[in-house]
Structure 1
């Protein structure tokens, strides 16, 4: 049996960028061919796309992990790695994207609407792109960046013109099955409908959609009876219709009290799409009242009795019977008139233009803070990205990182804060002992590929040397005791 899923949590992981290549051109009779390592390809992004043929989030319920392909590594002869293809994930119309904190990220309405849920990582530069006057043949390349990895909440809010609201067993499903081709489940017990049902209704040459929302009970706005899951699907409905059971035998219930109870739940519900799609608050939506089951004599008398009281509220009232089909035609054309009037009253929405937010390439902001234990923590977009791009097994790559940090001003800031050689400095996920390097702008003495002479010369006694000296002292003390 098909299942309707309207809320899922997906784990999106964009592709990582490919690593750059460190290569030197080799050809007979050309001993100094120069660097020719290509760049790595960018990782694929994850893009959510609205598809009219998708009506549920069921696929994500069984397959919550969405992974985009990564970029390929660069190669010699200046060959760049292939970029990872963007992964387009199809979602139904009316999908709302939230982050793991519940903040609204995107509201996907309209076929073809796109949202980049996770951005792929950039590929690392090859040594051909890193060549400069100081480093004519770099023996290293940059690593590719990791793609975004995040948890997203997808909620489906039904897009319909008319939403049917009522208590369980009020006849909403029967009404939808009668005025449209929809075939919802109908039975003689409460909460037969557990998921919204959409029906397309024809009013002459015009058509509109009707949503059968599962039954509401008092306390639904606080989550009682899965009320929040049901009320969510009313946020996009332009017209709300109260379907009232005039033949109910439950004590303490009558058409007016049912309407008051439903209105109280609608007023207490806080939609998550405040100000979205120009529909406004639920309390401001047009209302209509359908008095159902008038094929029963007592129900017909009750409907005629309460009709004047309801009409005093300014709402149109329709008396119908889904069994005898009495009053259905006036109801259909009356609802179309309300939908048409509501559509005409709404302002014409200009088509959404794509918003381009370029990433500043000259962003130099960073902060240096003390960790309270004699070390320092450097935070900033560029320093943290450079750390992720560096291969720490290559001394030349580490020296290149030190030059970049010096040009950015990190070393000057550490000196201002009183940093001492050998203190711990943390950038991103890497913690290392700080050694002041050659100031930016000073030529680096050429050494072998993959090495840096500055990392070989230091006046500070390392940990290994301190341990060796301690062992020698202990050995000499033992000799004296003997």
Structure 2
């Protein structure tokens, strides 16, 4: 059974960010020494990296679910949580990363090339980091952000200079075994080669790689035989070599018709294969009648514009001329490629009118629902502990400063209308109230923190709370536009 796998689905889950810590420094004679809660650690990323020692995606076929470690929560005494460890996954050179819809996310070519398949979540801020002149001792901390989860498809496309294509049993494996040190399986029955084989050839000062692709048959581009599974391995090759059998035992086949069939399949598959330089190899001239058939079809092939080489992999005839001709074409292809430029940093500034979020009106059961989408609002919601009123008030303040409340008013939202922050399948829904009645104001004035002030009598504290509530209600009544 083959152990070569060139297409897998990977389920990558990055690590979650650690929660921040809400803590107050305490020591003798200093019962309230100020906030000292540390930040949570960052979650680990899931990173794909090209490793030349890896040649197959077999590991991810057996274990498709991969997860990075989570960040650790913060602690008191200003101790930050430990960051999660990145999960580095080695992949073969030539791996293409696609999403579930088939869109290319990354093309990983070259040793050390990386792609972040899953971004680790941010760590939540502790109350020490949230303290300010107006909020001297926050009684809450931010939660860590969940790590990104993504399903991607890994597809391997062999990176080689030359591809040998042809019918099954045309002698491709025998040819690569004598041109290079590769040792593919060789037998006298069709479809002996079940996986692509790579070999390194040295011709003079030129060193290049040759790929032996499993045999093609009519209909390969539509999935017949093994062609559709392995035609992708021809895409990156600079030169195509048609290996034609001059000793076939099938009466309805000959080298010219074989060439026409393979060319039709390459055109049908596309991917620019029709424009690659080609060489025709008439193989097995050592077999009785093989040389005669080669002499018969060679003029026709040369009339079509092909360079034709007569070889025998068994008798080692014509191999030197073929290897140097391939080296010449490979050198020309390499020279024609644009030189790799130094890494450039691309800056994409946001538009001046980009607010970072959108507000859209929906109808749910005849009732209006206003949906807020944007990276910041959605992240802030995930970081909020809704069991803590002060944390909810802090979220309301942040949304108001971002301009969400103004946009809701412009969209026609009224007091009590439903507001959803996030996508439909994972949104936080609440009844909207303008900031003046939100939890942030009802908790007390933002410029004050009674926990750091001298104690007041209970009756005085009660009267102050009632006065603040009456003032907030009066401000809302004066502001309410409805």
Output the TM-score relative to the length of structure 2: 0.87
Give the match for residue 278 of structure 2: 287
- Aligned pair 1:322/2:313, yes or no? yes
Q: Do the aligned residues in 2 keep the contact of 1:39 with 1:123 (CA within 8 Å)?
A: yes
Give the match for residue 378 of structure 1: 372
Query: How far is the alpha carbon of 1:396 from its aligned partner?
Result: 0.6
Between the two proteins, the alignment pairs up a number of residues equal to 447
Give the match for residue 212 of structure 2: 212
Query: How far is the alpha carbon of 1:432 from its aligned partner?
Result: 1.4
Q: Which moved more, 1:227-236 or 1:437-446?
A: 437-446
Query: What root-mean-square deviation, in Å, do the aligned CA atoms of Structure 1 and Structure 2 show?
Result: 2.6
User: What is the DSSP-based 3-state SS (H/G/I as helix, E as strand, rest coil) of the residue aligned with 2:111?
Assistant: coil
- Aligned pair 1:266/2:257, yes or no? no
Query: How far is the alpha carbon of 1:385 from its aligned partner?
Result: 1.0
TM alignment of 1:35-46, pairs within 5 A? 35-46=35-46
Give the match for residue 438 of structure 1: 436
Query: How far is the alpha carbon of 1:65 from its aligned partner?
Result: 1.0
Give the match for residue 238 of structure 1: 238
User: What is the DSSP-based 3-state SS (H/G/I as helix, E as strand, rest coil) of the residue aligned with 2:88?
Assistant: strand
Q: Deviations over 1:420-450 (max 9, x none)?
A: 333321112211122223289984364679x
Output the TM-score relative to the length of structure 1: 0.87
Give the match for residue 299 of structure 1: 290
Q: Deviations over 1:204-239 (max 9, x none)?
A: 443221100000111112222232212100011111
Give the match for residue 471 of structure 1: none
Unaligned runs of 5+ in 1: 272-280, 460-482
Query: How far is the alpha carbon of 1:327 from its aligned partner?
Result: 1.5
1: distance between equivalents of 2:179 and 2:185?
15
Give the match for residue 152 of structure 1: 152
Give the match for residue 91 of structure 2: 91
Q: Deviations over 1:226-280 (max 9, x none)?
A: 3221210001111100000011132332111111111111111132xxxxxxxxx
User: What is the DSSP-based 3-state SS (H/G/I as helix, E as strand, rest coil) of the residue aligned with 1:308?
Assistant: helix
Query: How far is the alpha carbon of 1:28 from its aligned partner?
Result: 1.2
Q: Do the aligned residues in 1 keep the contact of 2:49 with 2:113 (CA within 8 Å)?
A: yes
2: distance between equivalents of 1:323 and 1:225?
27
1: distance between equivalents of 2:255 and 2:310?
12
Q: 1:52 to 1:359 in 2, by over 3 A?
A: farther
Unaligned runs of 5+ in 2: 453-464, 474-482
1: distance between equivalents of 2:94 and 2:221?
21
Query: How far is the alpha carbon of 1:371 from its aligned partner?
Result: 2.1
Give the match for residue 475 of structure 1: none
User: What is the DSSP-based 3-state SS (H/G/I as helix, E as strand, rest coil) of the residue aligned with 2:371?
Assistant: strand
2: distance between equivalents of 1:221 and 1:375?
50
Q: Deviations over 1:305-354 (max 9, x none)?
A: 11111112322111111222222222222222221222223332324446
